Amino acid sequence: MLAQVIVSGVLISAIYALATTGFTLLYGVSGILNLAHGTTLATAGMVAWYLGGHGVLGPGGALLAGIGAGMAVGLATFGLIVRPLQRFLKLSSTDEHVFMLVATLLWTIVLQEALALVFGDVPVSIPQLVPGVVDIIGVRTPVSSVLVAAVAWGVLALLWFYVARTRSGQRVLAASINPRGLVLCGISLGHIQRAVWALYGALAGLAGVLIAMILGVSPSGGMDLTATAFSIVVLGGLGSVGGTLIAANLIGFVETATAYLLGPSLRSLPALLILVGVLYFRPQGLFGRR
Amino acid sequence: MLDHVRRLAWLSLSALTLAAAVTAPAFADEPPIRIGVMAKFAQINGAAILNGATLAAEEINAAGGVKGRRIELIQYDDQGSASDATLAFQRAVRQDHVQAVVGTFLSEIAITLAPWAARLKVPYIVTGAGADQLGKLVHDNWPAYRYVFRTILPASSTAQGVCDSVRDLAVGQMGYKSGVLMTEDAAWTRSYDEFLASCLPAAGLKLAAPVKVATDTTDFTPIFQKIEATKADVIVTGVGIIGNKPVVQWANQQVPMLLMGYNAQAGASAFWKETSGATQGLVTFTAASEDSALTPKTVPFAQAYLKRFGTTPAAHSFATYDAIYLLKNAVERGDSVEADAIVSALEKADYVGASGRIVFQGPQDPLTHDMRFGEGYVTGVAIQWQNGKQVTVWPPAVATSKLVLPPFVPQRR
């Protein structure tokens, strides 16, 4: 039983971590909680499924198409929803938060309906990268799941490298810490925001395709994905990438242990209770800055 | 030259017009018979309902309509929500003046709409929702609820079909001795579980503790590992809302147990694409299949459906197709489109449809206005997914192939 909880927990946590990092990065840099996050993931998964499943593209091509779809949705969200609201309404920062929440919520409904119209509101799954199973400490595990976990952690390591070691990554970091200072240094905040939305889209696109491979996605399942991402990010501390990674593992393991010990239908309950506790005693989240 | 072309064009046009006038039935000036079709059309089951109704209406209209009147289908998308469905039902009756409503996939919605059919006095044929509670409601509220009928099998009849197919295939053919019942947490599985908990052991399959699955479950790993720990031979499913995920994860994780029972989504050929082929080896009970001649109408309907929509019909397509023909039949026999005349004609119906011989249970029977089930009536079939095709494997009389185990499922433990 312990071995099963550990193996399943590690695998599911890796996907959670990858699926929420973009969400928290976006909040850190631009202060926006994108409620269309889950639908962005679902769009990438559905596009990859459609192009891969109809013989248009091979598995690698479908993966790239999914990442492209994620970036397209990310940039569309920025260009059609976020940017016009910031530019034309001249809202106070509190009002802007509320407007962004409502606007991205409405946007997710638009995206969801569009997906259902194009692909049908059906759950779909992408074929595994590598079929077959391996034995890990006595637990039979699909090779693809192990590969997906490895890819997820690899991409997260690359992301860390980008932010910590490259010039453009340092600008993104600076934008999240002190945007005003960045503007004073003569760097365009607009460019950085666009780059962050594209990066966010690519991360969400990759995560969406991997989720479609392991768990399956559907247009109406986008909201559930947003809810999971939201709980993880609030628990870890809004805008804290490190906090998000720890929270993703915490939630992944608690959910898995609950499913094994108490029953699968209670899976999401303890994580929500922890979330309520954290909001009560430490509202900024476990590792939050504000 | 140009003149010649022009003359040829005129000639062809006149010929086409004449041909259309000869082949298309000339409808009298009488208004069309309006039938509402309701479901969530973006979903596989909702599309199956709409397609079944569309095909029946097209065939009937092409053959001259119902007593010279055309059938006009009006679509109502209930978005899978009971409140949307209630509003749509009221609009259908009060504003659009439909003569009957067919459809509904979710049992929760059908149970909500039944009292409205009674209040607004409009025939309502449920063609997708299987909860036994609906038939009991009609029975308990007789005669007020006499407007409600159902042409899809109720959960207990589906359970009977599943039990019989498990007895013949898993126990008889494969020699399996033990199983686990895995069903989703929804209204329709209550009677389903209850029935199978007593029927399967009597059929020779020892049951481990049943597993109830929430309909929003995404990761089935813990569920399958728990089930595997029981060392049972077969997983008997009852899933309708979550059709895809358990099947895909069963295949990906290579769970070494046969997956059979009832999966509402696996009956249509679109399921192969949605699961990217992971459904290979899955067995499900369903109303009828494209390769089994349950009645003389089954195979022609399945072929026409495939040609028209590019996918094979699901159980709900059979149910809705038969429902529209039953309404035609009732209007013709009762010689009226009045609700009460249609209802009494439906009550006396003895109609051979695409899914079997349809005779409704009476007010004294336990599930009033549900179809009679079993030999000589509607029986259903069990199909298995084999290399992209649904192949009928049960009952023996109409089976076209033997059960083939997926490579990761052992013959016997």
B55, B115: one domain: yes
Alpha-carbon distances of A183 from A8, A87, A175, rounded to whole Å: 45, 17, 9
Instruction: Say whether A125 and B248 touch across the interface (CB within 8 A).
Output: yes
Contacting residues of B for A109, CB less than 8 Å apart: none
* Residue B148 sits in the same domain as residue B168: no
Chain B closest CA to A23's CA: distance in Å? Answer: 20
Which of B218, B242, B269 to substitute to test the interface with A, most A CBs within 10 Å?
Answer: B218
Residue A244 falls inside a structural domain? no
Closest chain A CA to residue B45: A122
Q: Domain for residue A275, yes or no?
A: no
pLDDT digits (tens, 9 = 90+) for A49-71: 999 877 778 888 999 999 999 99
3-class SS letters over A205-245: HHHHHHHHHHCCECHHHHHHHHHHHHHHHHHHCCCCHHHHH
Whether B92 is covered by a domain: the verdict is: yes
Tell me whether residue A129 is in a domain.
yes
Q: Which of chain B's residues have a Cβ under 8 Å away from the Cβ of A123?
A: 242-245, 274
Same domain assignment for residues B241 and B384: yes
Domain-located, residue B233: yes
Contact B217 A267 (CB under 8 A): yes
- Any idea what the Cα angle at residue A192 is, between residues A175 and A62, rounded to 5°? 125
Show the low-confidence residues of chain B (pLDDT under 50): 1-2, 5, 8, 13, 16-23
The answer to whether residue A196 is domain-embedded is: yes
Provide residues of B within 8 Å CB-CB of chain A. 40, 42-44, 47, 185, 211-214, 216-223, 225-226, 242-245, 248-249, 252-254, 270, 273-278
Nearest residue on chain B to A225, alpha-carbon basis:
B218
A170 inside domain = yes
Condensed to tens digits (0 to 9), the pLDDT of residues B111-138 reads: 999 999 999 999 999 999 999 999 999 9
Residue range of the domain that includes B81: 33-153+296-358
Task: Assess whether B177 and B250 both reside in one domain.
Answer: yes
Subunit contact A116:B42, Cβ cutoff 8 A: yes
Is the Cβ–Cβ distance between B313 and B301 less than 8 Å? yes
The answer to whether B219 contacts A122, with C-beta atoms less than 8 Å apart, is no
In a domain, B15, yes or no: no
* SS3 at position A267: coil
CATH number, domain with residue B315: 3.40.50.2300
**Smallest Cβ distance to A215: which of B214, B245, B270?**
B245
**How far, CA to CA in Å, does B396 sit from each of B156, B169, B288, B362, B393?**
22, 10, 14, 30, 7
Closest chain B residue to A256, measured at CA? B222
- Does residue B277 form part of some domain? yes
**Which chain B residue's Cα is nearest to A54?**
B273
Q: What residues contact residue B43 under an 8 Å CB cut-off, 6+ apart?
A: A120, A121, A122, B80, B105
CB B135 within 8 A of CB B152: no
Rounded Cα distance, B79 and B87, in Å: 12
The answer as to whether A270 is a domain residue is no
- Domains contained in chain B, number: 2
Domain co-membership, B271 together with B126: no
Q: Which residues of A touch B406 (CB under 8 A)?
A: none
CA distance B394 to chain A (A): 28
Q: Which helix (H) or strand (E) holds A38?
A: helix A37-53
Q: Is the residue at A238 inside a domain?
A: no
Q: Are residues B39 and B69 in the same domain?
A: yes
d(CA A203, nearest CA chain B) in Å: 21
For residue A209, what pLDDT is reported?
Answer: 95
B40, B118: one domain: yes
Alpha carbon of B404 to those of B134, B173, B247, B392, B410: distances in Å? 36, 11, 16, 12, 11
How far A281 CA lies from chain B's nearest CA (Å)? 30
Q: CA B166: distance to chain centroid?
A: 20
Q: Does the beta-carbon distance from A122 to B223 stay under 8 Å?
A: no
Note down the domain range covering A127.
2-219
Does residue B4 lie in a domain region? no
- The answer to ipTM > 0.85 is no
- Containing A193, the helix (H) or strand (E) segment is helix A189-214
Residue from A140, A213, A258, A266 to probe the interface with B (highest B Cβ count within 10 Å): A140
Instruction: State whether the Cα torsion B398-B404-B405-B406 is positive or negative.
Output: negative
State whether B387 and B262 are in the same domain. Answer: yes
Between chain A and chain B, how many beta carbons pairs sit less than 8 Å apart? 98
Of B214, B248, B273, the CB nearest to A53: B273
B131 and B149 assigned to the same domain: yes
The pLDDT of residue B325 is: 98
CA A239 from centre of chain? 13
Which residue of chain B has the CA closest to A134? Answer: B253
Q: Is residue A204 part of a domain?
A: yes
Q: How many domains does chain A have?
A: 1
Do B233 and B302 lie in one domain? The reply is: no
> Radius of gyration of chain A from Cα atoms?
19
Tell whether B161 and B273 lie within a shared domain: yes
* Closest chain A residue by Cα to residue B255: A140
What's the pLDDT at B1?
Answer: 44
**Contact between chains at B42 and A121 (C-beta distance less than 8 A):** yes
Mutate to test the interface with A, among B248, B263, B279, B282 (most CBs of A within 10 A): B248
Report residues of chain A scoring pLDDT below 70. 289-290
Does residue B161 sit in the same domain as residue B267?
A: yes
How far away is chain A from the Cα of B46, in angstroms, using its nearest Cα? 10
In this structure, the strands spanning A133-136 and A139-142 are antiparallel
